[in-house]
Structure 1
Amino acid sequence: MKFSGEDVEILRRLQTNFPIEERPFRSLSSELGITEDKLIERIREYKANGYVREISPKLVSDKVGYSASTLVAVKVEEDRIEEIAETINEYDGVSLNYERDNDYNLWFTLHASSKEELLEIIDEIKKRTDPINLLNLPKQKQFKLHVVFNPLTGGED
Structure 2
Amino acid sequence: MKVSIQVVVNKEQVSLKVDSRMSLVDMLREELGLTGTHIGCRTGNCGACTVLLAEKPVKACCILAADVDGEGITTIEGLSSDPNALHPMQDAFVKHQGLQCGFCTPGVILSAVAMARNNPAPTEQEVRRALAGNLCRCTGYQFIIKSVLAGAREMAQASG
TM-score surpassing 0.5?
Answer: no
TM-score between both structures, scaled by the size of structure 2: 0.24
Please say which structure displays the higher CA radius of gyration.
Answer: 1
